[in-house]
Amino acid sequence: MNKPNSHSKAILANSESPHVKLKSVNFGDCQWTDGFWADKTQKAVDTMIPYMGDVLCGDVGHALNNFKIAAGMKEGKHQGMYWHDGDFYKFMEAKIYAYGLTKDENLLKELDEYIDIIAKAQEPDGYLQTQIQLKVDPAAERYANRKYHEMYNTGHYLITACAHYRITGQRNLLDLAIKHADLLYTYFFPDTKHYQRFGFNQTQIMGLVELYRTIGDKKYLVLAQKFIDRRGTYEIEHDSTTIGYPIGDMVQERTPLREEKDPNGHAVLALYYYSGAADVYAETGEEALINALDGLWESVTQKKMYVTGAVGQTHYGASKNRDMIEEGFIDDYMMPNLTAYNETCANLCNAMFSFRMLGIHGQAKYADIIELVLHNSGLSGIGLGGKDYFYANPLRMLHGTRDYDAHADVTETPDREGYLACFCCPPNLVRTITNLSGWAYSLAETGVYVNLYGSNNLNTKQLDGSAIKLTQDTEYPWKGLVKLTVEEAKSSAFDIALRVPGWATGATITINGEDAGVEATPATYAILNREWKAGDVIIIDIPMEATLVEGHPRIEEARNQVAVKRGPVVYCVESPDLPEATSVLDVYIEGEGELKLEQDDAILGGIPTINVDARIRESNKDAMYSAITKPVWTDFSAKFVPYFAWSNRGTAEMSVFVPVVWK
């Protein structure tokens, strides 16, 4: 199905997708070389993946053990959540990308060992769900109850198999996945009432589209669309397939997607669903589908998203239709700080959805959201050492305010954990870090688009088959100077499009030391068109001034408060940097004070911090309400650290939003 010059080895192999403006480059064509993302990627290869392998392939995570037991290679019973197979597939996917970057044959050997076990565990007709095969519940049967997350596991199975084939060239996992997908088609293509409501955690839509893109069999695309078409077309009531799991808005089934205007329910379920629908649109071009997705993206990012790019405002709540929801969206501008849920997976899904919309529309606003998530609410899900995790990512943490022991699933914790019983987020984040170089550039018919900044080398082919080599040199996100050098290019003119971040005012662009003559308008791509030659140097200089950010007036919990932001990085105040016995609630920022960038190797390994003129006010924390007199202030210099780096110095209080006082 793919043309000789198509980028069929991309993370999203959309080079032949007719309704995508910006196509993905082959994975490995861009490699981080130095700086922020190079360091994170190296940490993923050296530490995150090996540590995660110890967890998931041992007796703690038990994921590989489940496959071994299903394969008859080990005695025992299923352990872990119903979606633990999917956790393992995502871990495999991270290892696949690590192989794609390093070509380490040991990684390939380890993957082959996993695939041999999976092959033995998979049943002759292609069925593979260890939680069902090992009877995690005595009543567990194939596709009998959606609470067992068979669709979710299937989606990650197909995505991982496609990534494995594209990057390694081997078919051993792909052929297994094809057999699995063919069985899925047999079960779910017929219009039976029993299977209408089954695809509630919709990674299978993305997986089916990627399988279609990989091998060209249109039945997988047709089945993917059918999962969308069926949603919201039936009476909402409990039946045999829903017992034990919420219904209605929680799983986006009250309204057909093409009619939906407001994101509802579980944020991860919703955003995987929207991402899959965007993939389907990329192939079909259905106007009703993209119209709905456009509105949903605007609603998510402009009315329900935190300053960190996080989404999913609450752990427990109710929808507009009074359905019970978990880990999900609530009303517009209802943005609690202390009880914010913001599951790491949801934040990453926000970026995944935006990446697909970026491809479809080619607009910089989507890349702005990707950048925001990746530098803040995505990266906060893992500690600086690469071995401990957060599932939830609130914007404020206070001592003694929540009963964390009540959450037996260990999704909300005051400290990072080396293992989470619900382990979906850690491998999701690690696979994203390892494949992020594949997001940095896109290709259009007119040339090359620069989506993300970080030192890297790009060595790829444009859509017309011509070679293009670029070198990017920058200390982004700590400094805003980005230098791009053309190493090789075709002789005819083409575009190099530079993203000007939405927060960037006053950016300048030069070519070979002279003004490029193109305005650097925030939240757009600056299009540079000319006949390029080797040695041409483009510099975009983006001012990196720290600023105070306020929320929309309807965000009650942020009224009269501000957050500190510098470039794409959001900062927070943390109790290790406060005087003893001082709560983050006692800190007030001087609105007219100086925001000073500092770097101290003794603090968080030398990550740049911001010193802020501030005051401390003692308040009565015993009474719910008390009379006040004129406040007594103590001046001090508050240190703000990047939000992604909080909780790396022991148990701590933290707050992103802080009250502001003006002279």
| Residue in this structure with the two tokens 């990446």, named with its chain if needed | 355
Lowest mean pLDDT among 324-328, 375-379, 474-478, 564-568: 324-328
Give CA–CA dist 643/376, Å, rounded.
6
Give yes or no for residue 231 having a pLDDT over 70.
yes
Environment class of 468 (CB within 10 Å of its CB; exposed 0-12, middle 13-18, buried 19+): buried
Residue 449 · residue 470 · CB < 8 Å? no
539-576 burial string, b = 16+ CB within 10 Å, else e?
bbbbebebebeebeeebebbeebbbbbbbbbbbbbbbb
pLDDT, tens digit (0-9, with 9 covering 90-100), for 454-475: 999 999 999 999 999 999 999 9
Q: For residue 3, is pLDDT > 80? A: no
Alpha-carbon span 143 to 152, nearest angstrom: 12
pLDDT in tens, 529-553: 999 999 999 999 999 999 999 999 9
**pLDDT > 60? residue 5:** no
List the domain boundaries for the chain.
Answer: 33-239, 246-439, 441-541, 546-661
Three-state secondary-structure class, residue 627: coil
Any idea which fold 441-541 has?
Answer: Maltose phosphorylase, domain 3 (2.60.420)
Separation of alpha carbons 570 and 564, rounded Å: 6
DSSP H or E stretch at residue 510:
strand 508-511
> What whole-number distance in Å separates Cα of residue 310 and Cα of residue 343?
8
For 148, how many CA atoms within 13 A lie in the half-sphere containing its CB?
A: 23
617, two tokens: 């006010």
Summarised one tens digit per residue, pLDDT across range 591-613 is 999 999 999 999 999 999 999 99
User: What letters, b where the CB count within 10 A reaches 16 and e where it falls short, cover 110-123?
Assistant: bbeebbebbeebbe
Digit-coded pLDDT (tens) for 258-315: 999 999 999 999 999 999 999 999 999 999 999 999 999 999 999 999 999 999 999 9
Q: What is the pLDDT of residues 420-433, one digit of tens each?
A: 999 999 999 999 99
Q: What is the DSSP string of 27-60?
A: TTSEEEEESHHHHHHHHIIIIIHHHHHHHHTSTT
Q: How far is CA 269 from the centre of its chain?
A: 13
Q: What six digits make up the tokens of 466?
A: 């011509």
Which one has a higher pLDDT value, 117 or 6?
117
What percent of the chain has a predicted confidence (pLDDT) above 90?
Answer: 90
Angle (deg, nearest 10), helices 36-43 and 425-435: 130
> How many Å apart are CA 249 and CA 104, to the nearest integer?
45
The mean pLDDT value of the chain amounts to 95
Q: Is the pLDDT of residue 409 over 60?
A: no
Interval 38-53 mean pLDDT: 98
Report the pLDDT value the prediction gives residue 406, as an integer from 0 to 100. Answer: 64
* Over residues 73-98, mean pLDDT: 97
In degrees and rounded to multiples of 5, residue 294 shows phi and psi of: -60, -45
State whether residue 399 is helix, strand or coil.
Answer: coil
**Does the pLDDT value for residue 2 go beyond 50?**
no
Q: Does position 225 have pLDDT exceeding 50, yes or no?
A: yes
From the list 127, 121, 140, 125, the residue with the least C-alpha distance to 63 is: 121
H, E, C per residue of 157-211: HHHHHHHHHHHHCCCHHHHHHHHHHHHHHHHHCCCCHHHHCCCCCCHHHHHHHHH
What confidence tier does 4 reach under pLDDT thresholds 50, 70, 90? very low
Model confidence pLDDT, tens digit, residues 611-636 = 999 999 987 778 899 888 888 899 99
Helix (H, G, I), strand (E, B) or coil at 447: strand
Q: Whose CA is closest to 182, among 211, 142, 225?
A: 211
CA distance 300 to 272: 13
Say yes or no to pLDDT of 209 above 70.
Answer: yes
pLDDT of residue 111: 98
* Separation CA 333–CA 88 (nearest Å): 36
